């Protein structure tokens, strides 16, 4: 069965027969833009085996609730039968409203934005609005999403694999990353009772924040789940860590967040380090993909630098 044939079946399920459909992104999922009767939609073909049907249904329920709460997110579109999710030719497929904004930038390139601090205040604000909405929302009883808690970050089976077991690590890096795991586990056990925890996006990188005039739109809730709220802040900060004005961007992100709700950022550096480490685990099952060798080296290098800085800071303060 070809992708074109699968898409044709899918368009029929949503009543989009004869619609124009073209591939616009191929990352974890293949995303197509569908134009039908003057309206645009995002059709997603999900990566096989990455999420269960229950997890994807739960993601769509979450995004629907956020859209209803006034957040600028791609609301799910029900098919003609009223379902958000269908499995067609063994592929999980859903359709979302198309958002007309443009990504704020691309990971790995210099951020080309005029009002940089203003942008990060805005991201912090929208992130906080999302957390307010999820705290007020009661998920359906069958709601199922991953958990980016202590076990999901440094436990025996983390959400994104065991970063300390990446097969390409040198002996020195393996020793360092095992120390990171041990120290982080101890710190999280100590801090856990006081850390803000709830539903999070977990992937607010540049590609997943769109600018549409004065509005910021949040997309791609593929990795959303339960987790520490600092993890959301850390994800955004990690991907901008090499910007020359990083301290100002960090301060602006926190300021924007606190304009909506308070958060204790004492442990933020720990979460930036842990967020970096998750990518060293994430790449393990993707070593055969194009560009993975370069990405793996970058993830390891960045985590090594952050680990050395964080651990050195702990020693100085002890």
State pLDDT tens for residues 109-123: 888 888 999 999 999
For the cut 80, the answer to whether the pLDDT of residue 317 exceeds it is no
Sequence-ordered list of residues with C-beta below 8 angstroms from that of 228, at least 6 positions apart, any chain: 148, 149, 195, 196, 197, 200, 271
Answer yes or no: are the C-beta atoms of 169 and 179 closer than 8 Å. no
Encoded tokens for 95 = 């359709």
Encoded tokens for 36 = 């039908």
Q: Which domains are seen in the chain, by residue range? A: 3-98 (3.30.200.20), 103-317 (3.90.1200.10)
The pLDDT value given to residue 318: 61
Average pLDDT, integer, range 92-108: 92
Higher confidence at residue 49 or residue 181? 181
| Average pLDDT over all residues of the chain | 95
For the cut 80, the answer to whether the pLDDT of residue 207 exceeds it is yes
The pLDDT value given to residue 158: 97
């Amino acid at each position: 069965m070809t992708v074109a044939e699968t898409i044709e079946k899918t368009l029929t399920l949503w009543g989009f027969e004869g619609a124009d459909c073209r591939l616009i992104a191929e990352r974890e999922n293949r995303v197509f833009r569908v134009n039908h009767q003057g309206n645009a939609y995002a059709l997603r073909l999900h990566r096989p085996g990455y999420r269960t049907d229950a997890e994807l249904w739960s993601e769509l329920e979450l995004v629907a609730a956020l859209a209803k709460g006034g957040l600028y997110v791609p609301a799910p579109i029900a098919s003609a039968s009223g379902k958000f999710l269908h499995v067609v030719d063994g592929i999980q497929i859903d359709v979302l409203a198309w958002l007309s904004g443009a990504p704020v930038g691309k990971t790995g390139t210099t951020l080309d934005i005029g009002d940089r601090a203003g942008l990060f205040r805005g991201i912090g604000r929208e992130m906080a609005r999302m957390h307010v909405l999820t705290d007020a929302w009661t998920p359906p009883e069958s709601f199922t999403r991953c958990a980016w808690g202590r076990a999901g970050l440094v436990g025996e089976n983390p959400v994104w694999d065991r970063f300390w077991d990446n097969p390409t690590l040198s002996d020195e890096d393996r020793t360092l990353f095992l120390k990171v795991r041990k120290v982080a586990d101890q710190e999280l056990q100590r801090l856990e009772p006081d850390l803000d925890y709830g539903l999070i996006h977990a992937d607010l990188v540049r590609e997943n924040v769109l600018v549409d005039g004065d509005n910021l739109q949040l997309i791609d809730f593929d990795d959303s789940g339960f987790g520490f709220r600092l993890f959301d802040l850390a994800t955004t900060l990690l991907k901008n860590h090499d910007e020359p004005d990083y301290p100002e961007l960090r301060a602006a992100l926190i300021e924007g967040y606190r304009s909506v709700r308070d958060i204790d950022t004492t442990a933020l550096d720990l979460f930036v380090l842990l967020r970096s480490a998750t990518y060293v685990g994430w790449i393990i099952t993707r070593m055969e993909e194009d560009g993975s060798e370069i990405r793996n080296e970058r993830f390891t290098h960045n985590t090594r630098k952050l680990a050395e800085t964080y651990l050195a800071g702990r020693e100085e303060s002890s």
